[in-house]
Amino acid sequence: MSDYKTITFEQKGRVAVVTLNRPDSLNALNAEVMADVAECFAAIDRNKDIAVSVITGAGRAFAAGADIKEMQPQSFSDMYVEDYFAGWDRFAVCRKPVIAAVNGFALGGGCELAMMCDLIIASDKAKFGQPEIKLGVTPGMGGSIRLTKAIGKAKAMDLVLTGRMIDGEEADRIGLVSRVVPHDELMDIALKAADEVAGFSIPSIMAAKEMVSRALELPTTEGVKFERRLFQGLFGTEDQKEGMAAFSEKRAANFQDK
């Protein structure tokens, strides 16, 4: 793994822990962060020893959004021609599961980044919101679509049009997050969940992520067919034989990612 300037990377067994590390600007997402995150997660996808990642933020924010100071002078053509921030699409297509451990502010692009992840575990001090309307713009990293799919039109409109912040409890109630946990236990719980997933076979973990992600895009009959092909394909793995034999023999499975 390279040396990153704006994030830190640690490997704990089969789990990667990536920390957004610009605490002085509440981990505002500038072009450098985007490049570091995209490169880091591409490397994680290639790394056969990593099954799952956790992404979190240093200090009191997960990420307080795209870097407003960097964006302020940009013109339409800068944004359009350079496709500013398209690198986040590379993160969104990471094939191994990513757990967002949301430790504080997750606003604008920060909320959108969390929604690109597969599980969102929020601290009870987390704050979510899409405040772009207050800056004369709108969500631009997929928030309008991912938020609407996650929580429905009524709640998404409320957040996008008013720009109001919600706490972890409300985010949990409306289905934006997977779990809300006491702040001091956030990383332990996120790492425990990551370890649990990392104990399974990587092909089945990746297939599970792929089918649930596609469920959001496909009509039901196509989604069911897509799921079935992946399910059937897993019968070509040694780990399917091992997992089912271990069940019959009443022992723990010893998966080999094959």
Least Cα distance to 114 among 190, 46, 12, 44 occurs for 190
Stretch that binds ligand CO8, among 13-21, 105-113, 153-161, 216-224 (CB under 6 A): 105-113
Catalytic residue among 104, 112, 168, 171: 112
Q: How far is the CB of 160 from ligand CO8 (least distance, A)?
A: 12
d(CA 180, CA 172): 6
Quick check: 108 binds ligand CO8 (CB under 6 A)? yes
- Residue 241 and residue 49: Cα distance in Å, rounded? 21
Cβ closest to ligand CO8, residue 67 vs residue 227: 67
Told to check if 187 binds ligand CO8 by CB under 6 A, we report no
Asked if 64 is an active-site residue, the reply is no
Phi, psi of 219 (to 5 degrees): -65, 155
End-to-end CA distance of the chain: give it in Å, rounded: 24
Count the helices and strands in the chain (H runs, E runs): 12, 10
Q: What is the DSSP annotation of 162-230?
A: H---EEHHHHHHTTSSSEEE-GGGHHHHHHHHHHHHHTS-HHHHHHHHHHHHHHTTS-HHHHHHHHHHH
- 132 catalytically annotated: yes
* Residue 210 is among the residues annotated as catalytic for this protein: no
Q: Note the Cα 150 to chain centre separation in Å.
A: 13
| Binding flag, residue 57, ligand CO8 (CB under 6 A) | no
Active site residue 215: no
Does residue number 67 form part of the binding site for ligand CO8 (CB under 6 A)? yes
DSSP letter, residue 253: -
What distance in Å separates the CA atoms of residue 65 and residue 30, rounded to the nearest whole number?
9
69 touches ligand CO8 by CB under 6 A: yes
Contact stretch for ligand CO8 (CB under 6 A) within 102-110, 171-179, 203-211, 233-241: 102-110
Q: Is 226 within 8 Å of 218 (Cβ atoms)?
A: yes
Closer of 41 and 128 to ligand CO8 (Cβ): 128
- Contact track, ligand CO8, 18-47, x by CB under 6 A: -------xx-x-------------------
**Residues from 109 through 148 that contact ligand CO8 (CB under 6 A):** 109, 131-132, 135, 139-141
**Which of 116, 137, 134 has the alpha carbon at shortest distance from 71?**
137
Block residue for tokens 């997402």: 29
Stretch that binds ligand CO8, among 10-18, 38-46, 62-70, 116-124 (CB under 6 A): 62-70
Give least dist CB 50 to ligand CO8, A: 28
Minimum distance of ligand CO8 from residue 100's CB (angstroms): 15
Which residues are near ligand CO8 by CB under 6 A? 25-26, 28, 64-69, 79, 84-85, 105, 107-109, 131-132, 135, 139-141
- Catalytic amino acids? 66, 109, 112, 132
